[in-house]
Amino acid sequence: MTNHIDLTFTGLLNHNKQNFSQNKALGFDNERMMTYAEMHKHIESVQQKLINLGVKPGDKVALFSNNAPNWGIAYFSVVSMGAVIVPILPDLQSEEIKNILEHSEAKAIFASEKLKDKLDKACDYLPETVITIDNFKVEKGESKPVELSLPDIHEDDLAAIIYTSGATGKSKGVMLTHKNLVTNAIQGHNVQPINEDDRFLSVLPLSHAYENTLGLLLPVLYGASVTYLRKPPTAAILMPALKRVQPTMMLTVPMIIEKVVRNKVFARFEKGGFITMLYQFLPLRKLIHYLAGKIIKSAFGGQLKFFGIGGARLDKKVERFLLDAKFPYAIGYGLTETAPLSAGCNPDNTKLRSIGPAVKWVQLKISNGQDGGNPGEVLIKGPNVMKGYYKNPELTQEVFTDDNYFRTGDLGALNVKGRLYLKGRSKNMIVGANGENIYPEDIETVINNYAYVIESVVIERKGKLIALVHFNRQEIEEKVNHLREDIQTLVDKKMDELTSELHDFVNARVRKNARLQAIVVQNYEFEKTATHKIKRFMYQ
């Protein structure tokens, strides 16, 4: 596949050491960045510590921390010595953490000081070795001096077990090899070339395959720098960081850019008056979007070349704005099981509602859906596809076809140019009374574009379509705050009115068989995965 990079973590790190040692590597915003030469020294030091503690090739080592430069050091130390990394999402509940540690049989764990209490509460059982990732201090474990000696690593050796974030309610350990992960970093570079002058700003959890491969392995492989935030990426933290870092590359989920566009653009031009009237005129709307796009690009640091969006479906109205604004966005598609990137394009080739073609060395096909352009299940084959599910050969066999394609569970279609268009999850699809397929994601798109709606989930109950809708109560309170009556009574009354109006609004815009029978107000935010997909199984 490539003439100059061995498809292992040893090969990846050697390539970096030979070409980019003096480059800026990893660091926190507004703090000194370590160089790659320093990173390699830290990796060697941590590997010596692990070997002294008895960690051997093939042992499972958990990693439980928020994003930080030391996250990458711990990750590379483990995998390049032949052990297997088990990243754990920082926001998982205690029982989930315990299940992962026990199921993976982790021999050691790196944990941050901030999460130590959560870890202690989660586990009656802790791995025999515990290391604080902030300073690599050994908190638990017996150390005996051993000479540092690293084994030969092969591309098909297991590198990581990444537990899926549970959007379907069943967390599975995805086994990814060295070849899976390093190949996918190269595939990412093939979609959007990266060079040593590029600057990544990391805002998604490194424990997730999306940020892990494309936000860490990819920049390290090609000598770019990665900056992390010490606090969650709220507007107050993110906006100053964007000005300082001036990133050229960012990976995000739809929720981040949707919030920015709705608050900065739509809120200004869709609330009545002369400007709103002008905004309805298509040529003027495109001009307004273009000018607003310049402001948003400046707010993101002014140097963005690539703004990757993945993990969930981007709102169509927001995407239309991004296209008109010439914002450098691109949508990627993949799953943890595909390391993750399987299809996508760069901003120069973005098309509305399209993912893009398969990435290099990947084959896509649609099961049972080619005739008449009907959607079918997306199937994937390629060197980035997982080895299988850890300790679950039955499920592994179930998700592969006889000709070794991975069954994604996503519904989509390919056009004549090979571009992928997604329709939704096959498990979410609802079969109507007349046998027609109903895609709840399509109805949710209509709902989410209604005033004051934050998010929604459309489900079937007793043969009827029901929408669970989460309104922006704070915005409604601001709307009625000038009135002298009891504010809570007014807000409740306004929400009742909006619910009724929304019901009519949606049913006037969807097919007859997709009309809603009822709308139920969801008073709290929906539970979500690490990539902000709603955990739909909790609301069925």
d(CA 470, CA 526): 8
Find the angle CA(110)-CA(112)-CA(115) to the nearest 5 degrees: 115
Classified by CATH at the fold level, domain 9-184 comes out as Rossmann fold (3.40.50)
* Amino acid at the residue 133: I
pLDDT, average across residues 161-187: 87
* pLDDT score, position 193: 97
CB 153 within 8 A of CB 8: yes
Q: Are 2 and 362 in contact (CB under 8 A)?
A: no
Q: Which residue ranges make up each domain of the chain?
A: 9-184, 225-383+402-425, 430-539
What is 430-539's CATH superfamily?
ANL, C-terminal domain (3.30.300.30)
Residue 137: HSE in the Cβ half-sphere, 13 Å Cα cutoff = 5
How far is residue 347's CA from residue 322's CA, in Å, rounded to a whole number? Answer: 11
Lowest mean pLDDT segment, chosen from 32-46, 104-118, 426-440, 452-466: 426-440
What confidence tier does 263 reach under pLDDT thresholds 50, 70, 90?
confident
Amino acid making up residue 510 = V
H, E, C per residue of 273-338: CHHHHHHCCHHHHHHHHHHHHHHHHHHCCCCCCEEEECCCCCCHHHHHHHHHCCCCEEEEEECHHH
pLDDT in tens, 301-320: 999 999 999 988 898 889 99
Q: How far apart are CA 205 and CA 190, in angstroms?
A: 23
The helix or strand, by DSSP H or E, that contains position 235, with its residue range, turns out to be helix 235-245
Residue of higher predicted confidence among 60 and 446: 60
φ, ψ for residue 440 (rounded to 5)? Answer: -60, -30
Measured CA to CA, the distance from residue 270 to residue 257 in angstroms comes to 18
Are residues 344 and 392 in contact, defined by beta-carbon separation less than 8 angstroms? no
Given CATH 3.30.70.2190, say whether it is the number of domain 225-383+402-425: no
Tell me the per-residue pLDDT of 192-211, one tens digit each, with 9 for 90 and over: 999 999 999 999 999 999 99
Question: pLDDT per residue over 61-100, tens digit each?
Answer: 999 999 999 999 999 999 999 999 999 999 888 888 999 9
Tokens of 306: 């690539």
Q: Which letter does DSSP use for residue 371 in this model? A: G
45: part of which helix (H) or strand (E)? Answer: helix 36-52
- Of 401, 286, 445, 419, nearest to 343 by C-alpha is 419
Task: Name the pTM for this structure.
Answer: 0.88
Position 383 scores a pLDDT of 98
- The more confidently predicted of residues 76 and 537 is 76
Say if 9-184 and 430-539 have the same CATH topology: no
